[in-house]
Chains A and B, each alone.
Chain A
Amino acid sequence: MSDPRPIIETFGLTKRFGELQAVDHIDLSMREGEVFGLLGPNGAGKTTTLSMLATLLKPTEGTAKVDGHDVLTESAAVRKSIGIVFQEPSSDDILTGRENLYLHALMYGVDRRIREQRFREVLKLVDLEDRADDQVKKYSGGMRRRLELARGLLHKPKILFLDEPTLGLDPQTREHIWEYIRRLVDLERVTVILTTHYMDEAERLCDRVAIIDDGRIIALDTPERLKHIIGGDIVRLRIQDPQLSRMKELGYVVKIDRTGDLVTLTVKDSSVHLQEILSLVGEVKSVELRTPTLNDVFLHFTGHEIRGDSAEGGFFQRVARVRSGGN
């Protein structure tokens, strides 16, 4: 594949907090115009990586180039090229939406002559024109997010960083936010780098996904190709007395996992072979056939799942683990 010029490159990028290796010698190259996802569980080092790229944190080792500027030596130039939407709400809720944009415009030196026009453009992009003069505290969580997206774009950055863009939003609102992100990529021609621990978000939004665990990149490709690594579809069977030895003889069964009465098979061309599997494996209580998700990919590489439900504490659990001398 011919690579368009990289807009971000990292060189052995590393961050340690005391004994904790939060980001461990990461080498990445992100392409202009793509939506690039850093996917991993909480505490994997996604936000730390993003913070170093945004010059909010200094790397312990290594460096990165953002839009041709070194994050260590040219932080001011880097900051002008990027927009960022933080995980936590970062708009001032006592001010109105428009006032928040105004402050941002001042801080980023948006030319006075195009300010008003730019406000209109970004507000239209996220459908907040009607609510622009309401105080942000009257906004819903999704509206706040949209305002922050608009604000991140205000100064026409080349790169937009989104840290967990839909964290804490309900499913319907998340769908909407995804649409807005897609829309701004198309209309503003901006490169988007996002972190997420949601599989569906990475699959739906990202052109390429880097799977990150324990501060290291363990896989990087398009969601499609990552899923292809699994080598087949996933067949989950609930079964009392599985005849696993028979399964092992079948050439198209790539992988077998068993936890109690739950058997997970990875099967090539599953639609053709399902009948045979069912006839050989024993008395099946239930069966589920699905195409692999990025969660399966993650499991494949790490042996554990990304747990979306453990939204808090991942990082601190690891700190605790390091402190107590283990791992």
Chain B
Amino acid sequence: MTELEGLYALWYREFKVFLREKSRIVSSLFTPLLWIVVFGGGLGSSISLGETNYQLFIFPGLGSSISLGETNYQLFIFPGILTMTILFTSIFFGLYIVWDKKIDFFKEVLVAPLSRLTIFAGKMLGGCTDALIQGSLMLAFGVILGVSYTISIVIVSLIFMLVLASAVVSIGLVIGSFMESPEGFNLIVSFLVFPLFFLSGALFPISNLPSWLHAFTILNPITYAVDGMRGAMLGVSTFPVAMDFGVLLAFSSAMIVIGSIAFSRMK
């Protein structure tokens, strides 16, 4: 009973803080919107490059694979941008415990008569809630882009976002539990978050990439979140949606286990 109430307490704290820190919501939605509107809109309208090789133009990966057929590019990257929203919100949520540790608030939690598993689960669920709220707001934005939602599309997308969030929040919490100061944040963003995002097929189809790039994308678990949501929403996917979900779920379970272990060892 105490453990459950403790779980609720940890979740409640994260939820309240999230609701009060409105600037955090706004800023974390602004970047993905920028990507869709400016990048998606700009690139989508200028993709008739004619003779020009797009690869020379910008990305090594993009140029070789920009044959989207009928699909509008803005729509095509939308699941990718949803993934990005979840990815960034979740990882930063996890890393945020570095601050908690700094201001001693976390000590107050650690000294409470609660198991470490409860503390981890409370934090993780709090992070998933935050990420899912932001993901839902982005999802709603899809209506403007012209995604034709059905109830099942919405439910499948939400489930994908939830599982993705639980995995990435766990990664963030694991890293955060080892970090002593927020100075390493940039390092993590450069070496973890951006590679995960760019190699996920969020911005381009992965089917006919050069083989070295293809290998990275196949190994990247985030790929399966993008592919699954794209499959559910647009009917375009590299792998069967069920397989995407399976891979993502396995990844998430592994991260949750690692997270619980990291928390039980944390000082």
Q: Which residues of B contact A (CB under 8 A)?
A: 1-2, 5-6, 8-10, 12-13, 16-17, 20-21, 103-105, 107-114, 267
Contact = CB atoms under 8 A, between A and B. Distances in A.
B9 A107 contact: yes
Interface in A85-124: 86-92, 94-95, 99, 102-104, 106-109
Contact of A89 (B5, B17, B103): B103
A99 B104 contact: no
A54 interface: yes
A76 B110 CA distance: 11
Contacts of A91: 105, 108
Contact of B16 (A80, A99, A107): A99
A103 B12 contact: yes
B103 A90 contact: yes
Contacts of B5: 106-107, 109
Given A54-B111, A107-B112, A108-B112, A94 B12 contact: no
A145 interface: no
B111 A84 contact: yes
A70 B92 CA distance: 38
A104 B107 CA distance: 12
A102 B6 CA distance: 11
B13 A95 contact: yes
Contacts, number: 70
A86 B107 contact: yes
3 tightest A-B contacts by CB? A106-B9, A109-B2, A90-B104
Contacts of A104: 108, 112
B22 to A, nearest CB: 11
Interface secondary structure of B, over-half rule: helix
A314 to B, nearest CB: 19
30 contacts: A56-B110, A84-B108, A84-B111, A86-B104, A86-B107, A86-B108, A87-B104, A89-B103, A90-B107, A90-B108, A91-B108, A92-B17, A94-B21, A95-B13, A95-B17, A99-B16, A102-B9, A103-B9, A106-B6, A106-B8, A106-B12, A107-B6, A107-B109, A107-B113, A108-B2, A108-B113, A109-B1, A109-B6, A109-B113, A135-B20
Contacts of A80: 113
Nearest to A112: B5
Nearest to B106: A90
A108 B110 CA distance: 11
A79 interface: yes
Contacts of B9: 102-103, 106-107
Given A79-B112, A107-B6, A92 B21 contact: no
Given A90-B105, A95-B13, A107-B9, 19 more contacts: A55-B111, A56-B107, A57-B267, A79-B111, A79-B113, A86-B107, A86-B108, A88-B104, A90-B103, A90-B104, A91-B105, A92-B17, A94-B16, A102-B9, A106-B5, A106-B9, A107-B113, A109-B1, A109-B2
B103 A88 contact: yes
Contacts of B21: 94
Interface centre among A84, A90, A107 (most CB of B within 10 A): A107
B102 to A, nearest CB: 8
Contacts of A92: 13, 17, 105
A56 B104 contact: no
Interface centre among A55, A87, A92, A135 (most CB of B within 10 A): A92
A92 B1 CA distance: 24
A95 B8 contact: no
B24 to A, nearest CB: 11
A263 to B, nearest CB: 45
Given A90-B108, A94-B17, A107 B114 contact: yes
B108 to A, nearest CB: 4
Nearest to A84: B111
Contacts of A57: 267
Contacts of B113: 76, 79-80, 107-109
Contacts of B107: 56, 86, 90
B20 to A, nearest CB: 5
Nearest to A76: B113
B146 to A, nearest CB: 38
Contacts of A135: 20
Contacts of A84: 108, 111
Interface string A71-82: 000001001100
A87 B102 CA distance: 12
Given A88-B104, A91-B105, A107-B6, A56 B111 contact: yes
Nearest to B114: A107
Interface string A53-64: 011110000000
Nearest to B21: A94
Contacts of B2: 108-109
Contacts of B109: 107
Nearest to A135: B20
B177 to A, nearest CB: 15
A89 B12 CA distance: 20
